[in-house]
């Protein structure tokens, strides 16, 4: 079947158009940083079931993210080497893109994770104190880690050696294993699909991450993509038990106004042919919530009603944010498996968790399973270390909210609804016992308050200072600390410090 060629606008015309567009931009006073502002916008949810789930999710604080797919066999940056944006994370080993892509897509034929035992992952995550999981059911490459009927490019497809294994529907196995252990369940799903002919039409080259054809010119093709996406999400929402979070990645797949398109034409880093990519989120979410009442939807980086929480990626914000949020971060250096990856230390990870929680966020920590279906020993080691700490100190994490002043040097603060306040001292590298004194200048225990160190019932005495208070840490804790990496003072009631600011 022959397809009508896409007409390319003559270059001179394009220049003129760009100039006119630039003038429009100036006149309307739009600034490039608008997209940044958009990232900060939050549209509060009104559905009470969603709000309840959000509350439960927010109280759970600590979750596990897993990036796993055929790409794990090559130890590359997930799907990204299929892109043509000439970025370091898209580097390819072959000189020919076409050959590389064919080899990449052939990875289905060797993906055989016979050592896959999700119960072991769920046990380790639970012992670490994690309370929810988000798993990549489909990354941008379009390979489905669930048993979809929409494509053969899936782990249960005949081309994949693992398809005949009883555990082949790995998404289901993972969700069941974690749900059985009380976890909330999140499905990561990439809205972009670089395998679908309705997103990347084989008729054209693929200059960037976006659809490689004009949606306006071929609306039928795009409608097919919308249907395809709907069907896949439908499958995930109906055949996998209770799903709590739909974590949608590929924020560039979204509706765009004319102004946004114009702005992209001038400034977009990755859009040769900017256009609106409307996948009908209202109906996706309506359908999904019909099957999964109260479902939290995270349409990442897309300002609007379908981003129930925001997801700063691989960073911790400077301070509290006025909406629900979650820092996602790899435990190593990469989202997906790379051989001999360098994992962050237990001390660093606890420091990150505490820092995030003291600012009101959740911490979603990523582990990338290897091609055989195993985690690196380091992942188990770090989770074990975090678990030992959480066992003693978890009450200062779960269900807490931030309290001013959030931080003072290496000290962080959290608080429970009943006013119990935690002063968390984060160890520096090599610091193996708590300091002689812990101080805070903007708050102090209320008269008659009880003060202990988590891990012991011993009552500690404190001294009020001109600004704040200080506690002498008894020798016994310095010689035999109740835990490693961060030590926590629990104060039953606090008051405003003399000279301090009003407490929240």
Min dist CB 296 to ligand GLC, Å, is 16
For residue 472, give both structure tokens: 């002498």
Min dist CB 290 to ligand GLC, Å, is 27
Contacts with ligand GLC, 193-232, as mask; x by CB under 6 A: ----------------------------------------
Min dist CB 66 to ligand GLC, Å, is 11
> 434: closest CA among 475, 464, 469?
475
Q: Any residues with CB less than 8 A from the CB of 377 and at least 6 apart, and which?
A: none
Round to whole Å and give the CA distance between 41 and 324: 11
338 near ligand GLC (CB under 6 A): no
Whether the Cβ atoms of residue 389 and residue 483 lie closer than 8 Å to each other:
yes
Min dist CB 190 to ligand GLC, Å, is 7
Residue among 132 and 222 whose Cβ is closer to ligand GLC: 132
Residue 187's beta-bridge partner residues? 135, 246
Min dist CB 207 to ligand GLC, Å, is 18
The secondary structure element, H or E, covering residue 367 is: strand 362-367
Round to whole Å and give the CA distance between 117 and 112: 13
Nearest to ligand GLC by Cβ — which residue? Answer: 78
Q: Any residues with CB less than 8 A from the CB of 370 and at least 6 apart, and which?
A: 72, 337, 376
Interactions with ligand GLC, residue window 380-439 (CB under 6 A): none
Min dist CB 198 to ligand GLC, Å, is 21
Residue among 249 and 260 whose Cβ is closer to ligand GLC: 249
Tell me the longest C-alpha to C-alpha distance in the chain: 84
Residue among 313 and 436 whose Cβ is closer to ligand GLC: 313
Residue among 263 and 300 whose Cβ is closer to ligand GLC: 300
Residue among 200 and 469 whose Cβ is closer to ligand GLC: 200
Neighbours of 300 (CB within 10 A): 19
Interactions with ligand GLC, residue window 131-160 (CB under 6 A): none
Min dist CB 194 to ligand GLC, Å, is 12
Residue among 253 and 451 whose Cβ is closer to ligand GLC: 253
Interactions with ligand GLC, residue window 45-74 (CB under 6 A): 67
Residue among 236 and 403 whose Cβ is closer to ligand GLC: 236
Count of residues that bind ligand GLC according to CB under 6 A: 6
Whether the Cβ atoms of residue 201 and residue 193 lie closer than 8 Å to each other:
no
Round to whole Å and give the CA distance between 56 and 53: 5
Min dist CB 335 to ligand GLC, Å, is 5
335 near ligand GLC (CB under 6 A): yes
Interactions with ligand GLC, residue window 77-116 (CB under 6 A): 78
Among 208, 244, 249, 341, which residue sits at the site for ligand GLC (rule: CB under 6 A)? 249
Residue among 301 and 427 whose Cβ is closer to ligand GLC: 301
> 488: closest CA among 454, 455, 463?
454
Among 50, 108, 160, 328, which residue sits at the site for ligand GLC (rule: CB under 6 A)? 328
For residue 385, give both structure tokens: 């270390």
Residue among 137 and 414 whose Cβ is closer to ligand GLC: 137
Whether the Cβ atoms of residue 363 and residue 356 lie closer than 8 Å to each other:
yes
The secondary structure element, H or E, covering residue 491 is: strand 486-491
Residue among 190 and 415 whose Cβ is closer to ligand GLC: 190
> 275: closest CA among 292, 295, 254, 291?
254
Min dist CB 144 to ligand GLC, Å, is 15
Residue among 229 and 414 whose Cβ is closer to ligand GLC: 229
313 near ligand GLC (CB under 6 A): yes
Min dist CB 299 to ligand GLC, Å, is 13
Say which DSSP state 88 is in.
G
Round to whole Å and give the CA distance between 226 and 213: 15
In 319-404, which residue ranges form alpha helices assigned H by DSSP?
A: 346-358, 377-393
Round to whole Å and give the CA distance between 410 and 421: 16
Cα–Cα distance list, 406 to 311, 321, 367, 421, 440 (Å): 20, 12, 28, 11, 11
299 near ligand GLC (CB under 6 A): no
Min dist CB 211 to ligand GLC, Å, is 18
**Chain contacts with ligand GLC (rule: CB under 6 A):** 67, 78, 249, 313, 328, 335
């Amino acid at each position: 079947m022959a397809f009508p060629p896409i007409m390319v606008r003559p270059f001179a015309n394009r220049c003129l158009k760009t100039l006119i567009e630039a003038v429009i931009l100036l006149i309307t006073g739009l600034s490039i940083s608008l997209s940044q502002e958009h990232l900060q916008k939050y549209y509060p949810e009104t559905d009470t079931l969603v709000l309840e789930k959000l509350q439960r999710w927010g109280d759970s604080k600590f979750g596990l993210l897993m990036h796993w797919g055929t790409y794990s066999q090559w130890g590359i940056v997930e799907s990204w080497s299929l892109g043509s944006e000439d970025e370091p994370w898209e580097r390819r080993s072959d000189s020919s893109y076409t050959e590389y892509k064919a080899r990449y897509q052939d990875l289905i034929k060797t993906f055989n994770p016979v050592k896959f035992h999700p119960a072991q992952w769920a046990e380790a995550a639970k012992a670490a104190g994690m309370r929810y999981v988000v798993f990549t059911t489909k990354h941008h490459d379009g390979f489905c880690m669930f048993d979809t009927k929409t494509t053969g490019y899936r782990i249960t497809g005949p081309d994949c050696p693992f398809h005949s294994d009883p555990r082949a529907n790995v998404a289901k196995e993972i969700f069941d294993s974690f749900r059985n252990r009380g976890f909330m369940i999140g499905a990561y799903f990439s809205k972009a699909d670089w395998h679908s002919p309705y997103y990347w039409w084989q008729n054209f080259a693929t200059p960037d991450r976006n659809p490689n054809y004009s949606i306006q010119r071929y609306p039928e093709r795009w409608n097919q993509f919308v249907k395809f996406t709907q069907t896949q999400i439908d499958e995930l929402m109906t055949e996998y038990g209770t799903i709590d979070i739909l974590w949608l990645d590929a924020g560039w797949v979204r509706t765009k106004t004319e102004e946004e398109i114009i702005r992209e034409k001038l400034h977009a880093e990755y859009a040769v042919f900017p256009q609106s990519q409307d996948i009908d989120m209202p109906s996706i979410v309506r359908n999904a919530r019909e099957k999964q009442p109260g479902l939290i939807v995270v349409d990442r980086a897309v300002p609007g009603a379908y981003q129930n929480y925001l997801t700063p990626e691989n960073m911790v914000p400077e301070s509290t944010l006025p909406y629900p949020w979650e820092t996602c971060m790899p435990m190593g250096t990469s989202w997906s498996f790379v051989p001999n990856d360098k994992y962050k230390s237990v001390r660093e990870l606890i420091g990150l968790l505490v820092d995030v929680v003291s600012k009101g966020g959740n911490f979603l920590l990523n582990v990338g399973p290897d091609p055989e279906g195993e985690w690196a020993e380091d992942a188990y080691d770090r989770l074990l270390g975090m678990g030992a700490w959480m066992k003693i100190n978890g009450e200062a994490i779960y269900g807490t909210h931030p309290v001013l002043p959030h931080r003072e040097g290496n000290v962080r603060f959290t608080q429970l609804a009943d006013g119990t306040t935690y002063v968390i001292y984060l160890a520096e590298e090599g610091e193996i016992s708590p300091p002689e004194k812990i101080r805070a200048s903007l708050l102090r225990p209320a008269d008659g308050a009880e003060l202990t160190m988590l891990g012991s019932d011993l009552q500690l005495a404190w001294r009020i200072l001109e600004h704040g208070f200080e506690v002498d840490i008894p020798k016994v804790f310095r010689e035999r600390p109740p835990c490693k990496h961060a030590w926590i003072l629990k104060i039953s009631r606090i008051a405003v410090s003399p000279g301090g600011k009003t407490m929240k």
